[in-house]
């Protein structure tokens, strides 16, 4: 689409003040002839540059960067689909994806082409008008990486720049592809593959570099963020989110400052602080904001036994985008011990607060509070809880620190404690959306407490999830709190006033885990949910206007764009990820959850239809019960320790991975052992656990699974 076509469609679609203003200044989107990439023509497919991103509001038919604009607001000025027309929204097209794991991507749309990613780090280029797959790139991530990822093999999206598409892989690679052909341009390894670093987040573009973080704080790694040259893939800078072993020498004075807030031998378990999802970039300040994760292991009593704030865990850190040098930080949870990451979505906005215009950064991290922070200085402006919180009474605005509740540190009292929010957070990676029209932020919030008790036998291990907190062993006192966990589990779409710091409306869902959010100038908020529905609500009042059946749970955030004067609302669907897997029957009580991975796109008057939901094959009868009570109890504890995070509490499937209770292999000791000890299903992500489980223990796990099957 050329510039004049773009402006014609804008007039049809967009709030006039924004669109006409953008199109009158046609020359404001110029070709960057200084770039070293050849053929800098706007005719090049996916030609996106800094100027075009800075002026993204002038072309709302595109979704140029992860959060649509550098502000990451995920608000679209498009309004052909609005509170009067949304009832006519119908399916325009769909694309089947070739994986059956959770989908979390935000597609990028440039000039009628959609670039999205799917589980196992695959990338698709799709005609955004017809849904025809133009090409797919599969980086062929080995199955073993499934067991190194705490929360599944998801991928949250790509970045586009000057004719190339950039994305990262679960096994730590950053890849640049030719946007026209899908051919590989360059690939760099961003992690040490001998350690359990994984990447699920989308890269961001800042000051001529492409920036990527990583995950692994449940596996003993040291977090960092790296910037690479967009042209060549050469490393520009790296910032570590936690300090390393002082004996190795500090990288710079910032690391030395951070190390003063740690005690003991924190580097042995990596320290964590991984920046696995959220970034925001302010090109005028040239600041890159990174959200950092929890400690490794979770418990501060293990990680930093003499206490300390443990910088930069659970923080927003502002870096000079050119150099990666530290500028300021705000730590949401000093000395985190609850897996309270601050990697959650960050939004930039300009708000009038107490009569003063403030440039703010806003975040609802896992810990339950909503933060408004001055993004120039890092000064805390306000913080209030969006969901019930019982680990802190409030955030003290003078010191900027939470006031903790006595006894919340389970690892100091050594008591079993139910804490809200839990490790899943009052808000997790699912993006929120801020509408400058309503002045409200729409948050996919959760009530999802977690039962914490220190694992006093914690030790570093070579394989598997290892966080220093006991899991749900069904014969353990932890389990006695579990029914309350189920009763407490709820999800809400919250409309939150960030200036008044109060709720304006809410819509409640059946369970806690639902999709990310989009808001539009059509007075609409879109969100998918666990029950396989995509719905539109009025942005001002939360009235449900439209809903459609997606056939599978939705985690990813919707996006909107336009082609040839028609507005589309698109979302990548596919149930899965850690909560679906680990919670087992809690989230799947009817056994009807399923993964059908697709990209769905809707438009006014769309008439496409999804094929019927496949009829599930009848489950085979469970194998006959066997094993002594002591063997079953031992098996239950081993299962909770090694298997639950993927295969579900109680050995009950959350609807994505196979239900072990009904697996033929559970009735066949040699087949079960081949899977668990020999890794015959490694390509599917089920590696050998022989390093940490022996043959007798394997049989005990099988006895427990079969007992569960017969209950
Ligand atoms: Ca974590």
pLDDT for 467 equals: 84
For residue 257 the two structure tokens come to 């400052």
635: left (phi over 0), alpha (psi -120 to 50) or beta: alpha
| Whether the predicted pLDDT of 670 surpasses 60 | yes
pLDDT band at 486 (very low <50, low <70, confident <90, very high): low
Domain residue ranges in the chain: 3-604, 629-709
Please choose, from the candidates 702, 676, 707, the residue with its C-alpha nearest in 3D space to the C-alpha of residue 689.
676
| Whether the predicted pLDDT of 674 surpasses 70 | yes
Q: For 319-334, what is the mean pLDDT?
A: 98
pLDDT for 14 equals: 40
pLDDT band at 663 (very low <50, low <70, confident <90, very high): confident
| pLDDT per position as a tens digit, 364-404 | 999 999 999 999 999 999 999 999 999 999 999 999 999 99
Distance 298 CA to ligand 1 centre (A): 8
Question: Which residues, including other chains, have CB under 8 Å from residue 195's CB and lie 6 or more apart?
Answer: 216, 219, 220, 221, 270
Residues 171, 207, 277, 339: which is the catalytic one? Answer: 339
pLDDT for 543 equals: 98
Query: 């809200």: which residue's tokens?
Result: 420
Contact criterion met (CB below 8 Å) for 278 and 343:
yes
Rounded to 5°, angle at Cα 215 from 495 and 434: 20
| Whether the predicted pLDDT of 480 surpasses 70 | no
pLDDT for 590 equals: 77
| pLDDT per position as a tens digit, 447-464 | 988 889 998 888 887 677
Which range is least confidently modeled, 26-40, 189-203, 360-374, 389-403? 26-40
| Whether the predicted pLDDT of 31 surpasses 50 | no
Distance 484 CA to ligand 1 centre (A): 23
Separation between Cα atoms, residue 386 and residue 383, nearest integer Å: 9
For residue 224 the two structure tokens come to 């960092």
pLDDT for 178 equals: 98
Distance 366 CA to ligand 1 centre (A): 10
Contact criterion met (CB below 8 Å) for 532 and 550:
yes
Distance 294 CA to ligand 1 centre (A): 5
| Whether the predicted pLDDT of 327 surpasses 70 | yes
Please choose, from the candidates 238, 236, 190, 233, the residue with its C-alpha nearest in 3D space to the C-alpha of residue 215.
190
| Whether the predicted pLDDT of 12 surpasses 90 | no
Distance 272 CA to ligand 1 centre (A): 9
Distance 216 CA to ligand 1 centre (A): 8
Instruction: Mark whether 488 is an active-site residue.
Output: no
Q: For 648-654, what is the mean pLDDT?
A: 84
| pLDDT per position as a tens digit, 487-543 | 678 899 999 999 999 999 999 998 899 999 999 999 999 999 999 999 999 999 999
Distance 424 CA to ligand 1 centre (A): 8
Average predicted confidence (pLDDT) for the chain: 90
- 387's enclosing H/E stretch is none
| Whether the predicted pLDDT of 16 surpasses 50 | no
| Whether the predicted pLDDT of 39 surpasses 70 | no
Chain-centre distance for alpha carbon 237: 24
In percent, how much of the chain has pLDDT > 90?
75
| Whether the predicted pLDDT of 127 surpasses 80 | yes
Give 583's Cβ-side CA count (13 Å radius): 25
Question: Which residues, including other chains, have CB under 8 Å from residue 4's CB and lie 6 or more apart?
Answer: none
Which one is predicted more confidently, 626 or 336? 336
Q: For 195-213, what is the mean pLDDT?
A: 97
pLDDT band at 477 (very low <50, low <70, confident <90, very high): low
Distance 470 CA to ligand 1 centre (A): 15
Distance 297 CA to ligand 1 centre (A): 9
pLDDT for 511 equals: 87
Domain 3-604 fold is Methanol Dehydrogenase; Chain A (2.140.10)
Same fold, 3-604 and 629-709: no
For residue 282 the two structure tokens come to 């302010």
Query: 């601050």: which residue's tokens?
Result: 342
What is the phi/psi pair of residue 493, to 5°?
A: -95, 115
Q: For 411-440, what is the mean pLDDT?
A: 95
In percent, how much of the chain has pLDDT > 70?
92
| pLDDT per position as a tens digit, 293-306 | 999 999 999 999 99
Distance 237 CA to ligand 1 centre (A): 25
Distance 313 CA to ligand 1 centre (A): 11
Contact criterion met (CB below 8 Å) for 117 and 124:
yes
pLDDT for 706 equals: 92
Cis status, amide bond into 78, omega within 30 of 0 = no
- In CATH, the architecture of 629-709 is Orthogonal Bundle (1.10)
| Whether the predicted pLDDT of 168 surpasses 90 | yes
3-state secondary structure 30-57: CCCCCCCCCCCCCCCCCCCCHHHHHCHH
Which one is predicted more confidently, 428 or 652? 428
Separation between Cα atoms, residue 423 and residue 610, nearest integer Å: 36
Distance 343 CA to ligand 1 centre (A): 9
Distance 217 CA to ligand 1 centre (A): 6
């Amino acid at each position: 689409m050329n510039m004049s076509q773009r402006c014609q469609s804008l007039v049809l679609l967009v709030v006039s003040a924004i669109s006409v203003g953008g199109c009158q200044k046609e020359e404001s989107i110029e070709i960057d002839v200084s770039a070293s990439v050849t053929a800098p023509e706007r005719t090049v497919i996916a030609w996106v540059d800094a100027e075009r991103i800075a002026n993204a509001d002038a072309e709302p038919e595109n979704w140029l960067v992860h959060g649509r604009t550098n502000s990451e607001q995920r608000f679209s000025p498009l309004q052909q689909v609005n509170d009067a027309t949304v009832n006519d929204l119908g399916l325009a097209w769909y694309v089947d994806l070739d994986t059956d794991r959770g989908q979390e991507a935000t597609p990028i749309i440039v000039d009628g082409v959609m670039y999205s990613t799917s589980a196992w780090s695959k990338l698709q280029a799709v005609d955004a008008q017809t849904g025809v797959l133009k090409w797919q790139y599969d980086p062929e991530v080995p199955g073993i990486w499934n067991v190194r990822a705490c929360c599944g093999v998801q991928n949250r999206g790509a970045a586009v720049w000057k004719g190339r598409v950039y994305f990262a892989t679960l096994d730590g690679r950053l890849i640049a592809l030719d946007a026209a052909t899908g051919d590989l341009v360059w690939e760099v390894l961003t992690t040490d593959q001998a350690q359990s670093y994984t990447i699920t987040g989308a890269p961001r573009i800042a000051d001529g570099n492409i920036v990527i973080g990583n995950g692994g704080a449940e596996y003993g790694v040291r977090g960092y963020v790296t910037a690479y040259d967009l042209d060549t893939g050469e490393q520009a800078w790296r910032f570590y989110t936690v300090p390393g072993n002082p004996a190795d020498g500090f990288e710079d004075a910032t690391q030395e400052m951070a190390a003063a807030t740690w005690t003991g031998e924190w580097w042995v378990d990596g320290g964590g602080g991984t920046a696995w999802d959220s970034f925001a970039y302010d090109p005028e300040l040239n600041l890159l904001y990174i959200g950092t994760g929890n400690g490794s292991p979770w418990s501060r009593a293990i990680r930093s036994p003499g206490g300390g704030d443990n910088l930069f865990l659970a923080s927003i850190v502002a870096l000079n985008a050119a150099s990666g040098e530290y500028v300021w930080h705000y730590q949401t949870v000093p000395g985190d011990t609850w897996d309270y990451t601050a990697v959650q979505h960050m939004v930039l906005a300009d708000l009038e607060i107490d009569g003063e215009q403030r440039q703010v950064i806003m975040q609802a991290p896992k810990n339950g509070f909503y933060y408004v922070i001055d993004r120039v200085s890092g000064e805390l402006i306000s913080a209030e809880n969006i969901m019930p919180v019982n680990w802190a009474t409030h955030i003290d605005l003078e010191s900027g620190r939470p006031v903790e509740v006595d006894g919340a540190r389970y690892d100091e009292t050594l008591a079993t404690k139910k804490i809200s929010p839990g490790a899943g957070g009052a808000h997790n990676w699912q993006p929120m959306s801020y509408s400058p029209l309503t002045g409200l932020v729409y948050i996919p919030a959760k009530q999802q407490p977690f039962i914490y008790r220190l694992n006093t036998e914690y030790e570093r291990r070579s394989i598997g999830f290892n966080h220093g907190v006991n899991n749900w062993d069904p014969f353990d006192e932890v389990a006695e709190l579990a029914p309350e966990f189920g009763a407490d589990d709820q999800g809400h779409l919250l409309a939150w006033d960030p200036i008044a710091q109060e709720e304006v409306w809410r819509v409640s869902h059946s369970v806690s885990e639902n999709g990310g959010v989009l808001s539009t100038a059509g007075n609409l908020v879109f969100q998918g949910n666990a029950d396989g529905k995509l719905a539109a609500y009025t942005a001002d009042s939360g009235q449900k206007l439209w809903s459609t059946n997606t056939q599978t749970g939705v985690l990813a955030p919707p996006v909107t764009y336009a082609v040839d004067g028609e507005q589309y609302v698109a979302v990548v669907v596919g149930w899965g990820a850690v909560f679906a897997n680990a919670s087992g029957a809690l989230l799947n009580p009817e056994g009807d959850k399923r993964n059908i991975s697709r990209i769905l796109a809707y438009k006014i008057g769309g008439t496409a239809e999804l094929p019927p939901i496949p009829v599930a094959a009848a489950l085979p009868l469970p194998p006959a019960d066997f094993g002594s009570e002591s063997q079953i109890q031992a098996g239950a504890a081993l299962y909770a320790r090694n298997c639950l995070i993927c295969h579900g509490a109680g050995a009950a499937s959350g609807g994505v991975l196979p239900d072990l209770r009904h697996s033929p292999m559970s009735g066949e000791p040699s087949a079960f052992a081949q899977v668990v000890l020999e890794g015959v299903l490694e390509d599917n992500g089920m590696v050998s656990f022989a390093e940490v489980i022996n043959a007798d223990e394997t049989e005990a796990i099988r006895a427990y699974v079969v007992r569960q099957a017969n209950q």
